[in-house]
Structure 1
Amino acid sequence: MMLRWIALACAAALAGCGAVPSSGPSAQVITETNRENAAPAAYVVVDVDEKVVNVTGQYKTKGFSSFYKVDFGSVQVRLAVGDQIAISIYEAGADGLFSSETSKATQIVATIDGDGEVFVPYVGTIQAAGRSSKSLRAAIEEALQDKAIQPQVQVQVANSVVNTVTILGEVGTGGKIPVPVSDFRVLDVIAAAGGSSIPTYQTRVILRRGNKVASADLEDLFDNPKENVAVQPGDTILLAAAPRSYTVYGATTTKAEIPFEARRINIAEGLAKAGGLNDLQADARGVFLFRFEPDTIAKQLSERAIVAHEGSLVPVVYRFNLKDPKSFFLMQTFELRDEDLLYVSTHPSVEFNKFLRIIEPAVSQVITALTLSERFSN
């Protein structure tokens, strides 16, 4: 009879509380979508192994090369009206037009006038606007062949209003940077502006060319030369602070949003920064990473991945079983990304203990009532 009363009390307690208090879903609830014949779920659950680590390692953020198909030398820098150029003329002898006993060269600084011309002694006015520095150099050399002693000419842009790139944001010195050569690259512009004024792993480079805008991480431009595209006159480059972070929930020592303190952080380091698993609560078999993956990766991970359309993102839940020592090696090669969510589920025994604490008052009342009833009946 007493057992019946206790059972009824337990049922009443469960009906009253609705559910056992918890910081999140249990491992069983999260992984139940993996059951055979289970209905399609809004997310895919994947147990992490070597194959999964290799597939997720294929992820690459879109860089400049996805937007600007520019190869070395394909951007031709042309001289323009208002450009100030330095023309250096060298001769083989000391008694030439442009040489002396102390120097065999003369430098002429000229500004391209409104007609697009510059004046060069013993050559006269010569068309400069619309030409490359190389073309102007060759034209001046040819004009001096019968006047100077084996002349050689060098043309450099000293200052340009048109052939510039604007750089601003988190840089040492923002402003307009001249584009001196055809293969002047994004990193060249950043270096000329004094470099990034914030940590490189937090720096996002945004490039605007006409109506097109693209962005890339600064360190990606260094690691992958293909992303370090050539700039064009008129480009605008913005260096913006882009701090990254991940969030930790569940049975861990610390529950918080944690900023990246380096470019790359793996799962093992991410959990360590949160103080690790809570020994009294955590289910070591239920360490999960929640993330949106590109459809190309999600389809390699699971046949159950539901892809709305090409290029869409798919919710994926990665599961690590820390009861298996191999998982500790896998965590060291599995990198976290910005806005990832790490969740450690609570062990079932902890949930059961919570349940016992919930029903304890009801059970105590039943036992007290039964005791009093027995006394009165006797």
Structure 2
Amino acid sequence: MKHSTTRWARIVALLAAVSIVASCGLLPRLGPNKREIYAGSVQREGDAFIVSINDRVTRTTAVVPALGFSEEFKNAGSLGSDTIRAGDTLGLTVWENVDDPLLGAGAGTAGGSGGPATLEEVQVDGSGFIFIPYAGRIKAAGNTPEGIRQIITAKLEDQTPDPQVQVRRIAGDGSTVSLIGSVGGQGVYAIERPTRTLTAMLARAGGITIVPEIAQVTVLRGDQTGKIWFQDLYKHPEVDIALRGGDRILVEEDTRAFTALGATGSQARITFESQSLSAVEAIAQVGGLLSIGADPTGVFVFRNEPAEIANQVLGRTDLQGAQRMVYVLNLTEPNGLFMARDFVIRDQDTLYVTEAPFTQWNKLIAAFTGSLGAVGTLTSTTDGLLGLASGG
């Protein structure tokens, strides 16, 4: 009888201890519950605004980063393949209708008496000039091969009868762009007739090597920078800008990401897989809600919202600076999934799903039964040892 009374006393003490643990919130869990989150609201002297998601909220917060080129980028005309720039290389051939030409054998790399004289790789200097024997120093930058041909012809006519001049433009240092990042072949490429635009140059470099949906293309031109989604280059041909010598082109993945915590299939930092990402897509991307532990009425999105959007969401005009906002989704409502489909997740958002109330109860029961079993085992062992001792 004494042993039985002692055993029940231990059980009662264990129940009291478990009750204390449960009331103090010391049982293991994934994070705060709904009650604790709501307790941190501004309405309850906290520092976050808690807002239930509806159609008006989804429209107000549907902000997707707008990427595009400035008008200065878009209005820059395509460089003609004949436009000469400093750093370009030219090739010239001159025919003279005389037996003893000015530019004969020894003046060029080829030719002779009565034959053509060829001057290959004539470099346009940094000031935009070239030098031609008997024609002198000629301004080439900003001109065309035809314009240069006429200038050289006019200068040679005073010294040789009826000269015939041909001028060819060869791609040079003054008409190149550099491509780096996630492209098939990084390097420096000349702007030639087939590669005057951004898409053509990307194709020349072997295309992109990342998923098109999250590829961003940045163009640096002097002190200007423009960025655009790769897919928009093909959806909107008007943004396929003309290139300029010295442009630097970078192709990289979208760096936006959100964090998933709580009763979801995966707790991690997740990168975006498309230009826009809805709440339901974000939930699916992390493996959905835990079927045995998630509370579908407690899906929260934590965000630092710019003041202009926060004021619109809350119907106010007095808020200044970024505001802590907690958006709430209830997937059990008739239109809950529609709200989740329309609500846009943004960069640096935290998606948090609370545990269902019965999950904590199950943990309490598990703690109770596990501890009770341990106590029972210990009691049986103790009783056995006492029995052996008394029999001995």
User: Normalising by the residue count of structure 2, what TM-score does the alignment of the two structures yield?
Assistant: 0.64
Question: Deviation at 1:322?
Answer: 0.6
Question: Deviation at 1:109?
Answer: 7.6
Cα distance, 1:362–1:236 mapped onto 2, change above 3 Å: closer
Match of 2:75 among 69, 72, 97: 72
Higher relative contact order (CA closer than 8 Å, sequence separation 6+): 1
Q: Which residue of 1 aligns with 2:299?
A: 287
Question: Deviation at 1:208?
Answer: 2.9
The answer to whether the Cα contact below 8 Å between 1:13 and 1:362 also exists between their aligned partners in 2 is no
Letter in 2 for 1:327: G
Cα distance, 1:85–1:18 mapped onto 2, change above 3 Å: same
Q: Which residue of 1 aligns with 2:102?
A: none
In structure 2, how many angstroms separate the alpha carbons of the residues matched to 1:141 and 1:325? Answer: 79
Question: Deviation at 1:69?
Answer: 3.6
2:64 is aligned with 1:59 = yes
Letter in 2 for 1:195: G
User: Normalising by the residue count of structure 1, what TM-score does the alignment of the two structures yield?
Assistant: 0.66
Any stretches of 5+ residues in structure 2 without a counterpart? 1-8, 94-118, 158-164, 376-392
User: For the pair shown, which has the larger CA radius of gyration, 1 or 2?
Assistant: 2
In structure 1, how many angstroms separate the alpha carbons of the residues matched to 2:317 and 2:365? Answer: 39
In structure 2, how many angstroms separate the alpha carbons of the residues matched to 1:49 and 1:154? Answer: 72
Greater displacement, 338-347 / 7-16: 7-16
Cα distance, 1:15–1:290 mapped onto 2, change above 3 Å: closer
Any stretches of 5+ residues in structure 1 without a counterpart? 89-107, 148-152, 366-378
In structure 2, how many angstroms separate the alpha carbons of the residues matched to 1:339 and 1:54? Answer: 19
Cα distance, 1:157–1:72 mapped onto 2, change above 3 Å: farther
Question: Deviation at 1:171?
Answer: 1.5
Q: Deviations over 1:60-113 (max 9, x none)?
A: 245443xx743423687862344235799xxxxxxxxxxxxxxxxxxx987455
The answer to whether the Cα contact below 8 Å between 1:164 and 1:234 also exists between their aligned partners in 2 is yes
In structure 1, how many angstroms separate the alpha carbons of the residues matched to 2:45 and 2:23? Answer: 30
Q: Which residue of 2 aligns with 1:49?
A: 54
Q: Which residue of 2 aligns with 1:372?
A: none
Q: Which residue of 2 aligns with 1:31?
A: 38
Question: Deviation at 1:119?
Answer: 6.3
User: Which secondary structure state, in structure 2, belongs to the residue aligned with residue 171 of structure 1?
Assistant: coil
In structure 1, how many angstroms separate the alpha carbons of the residues matched to 2:55 and 2:273? Answer: 26
Cα distance, 1:265–1:280 mapped onto 2, change above 3 Å: same
In structure 2, how many angstroms separate the alpha carbons of the residues matched to 1:306 and 1:200? Answer: 42
Q: Which residue of 1 aligns with 2:215?
A: 203
Question: Deviation at 1:270?
Answer: 2.8
Where do 1:1-378 residues align within 5 Å? 9=16, 13-14=20-21, 19-34=26-41, 37-39=43-45, 41=47, 43-65=48-70, 69-73=72-76, 79-85=84-90, 111-114=122-125, 116-117=129-130, 127-133=138-144, 137=146, 157-180=169-192, 184-211=196-223, 213=225, 215-223=227-235, 228-242=240-254, 245-303=257-315, 309=321, 313-355=322-364, 357-358=366-367
Letter in 1 for 2:209: S
Question: Deviation at 1:360?
Answer: 6.8
Q: Deviations over 1:30-61 (max 9, x none)?
A: 234557x43251x3333222222222323324
Cα distance, 1:317–1:304 mapped onto 2, change above 3 Å: farther
Q: Deviations over 1:243-278 (max 9, x none)?
A: 655433222344344454455443223323433222
The answer to whether the Cα contact below 8 Å between 1:137 and 1:155 also exists between their aligned partners in 2 is yes
State the superposition RMSD in angstroms: 4.6
User: Which secondary structure state, in structure 2, belongs to the residue aligned with residue 31 of structure 1?
Assistant: helix
In structure 1, how many angstroms separate the alpha carbons of the residues matched to 2:67 and 2:319? Answer: 20
In structure 2, how many angstroms separate the alpha carbons of the residues matched to 1:210 and 1:361? Answer: 70
Cα distance, 1:359–1:293 mapped onto 2, change above 3 Å: same
In structure 1, how many angstroms separate the alpha carbons of the residues matched to 2:230 and 2:56? Answer: 29
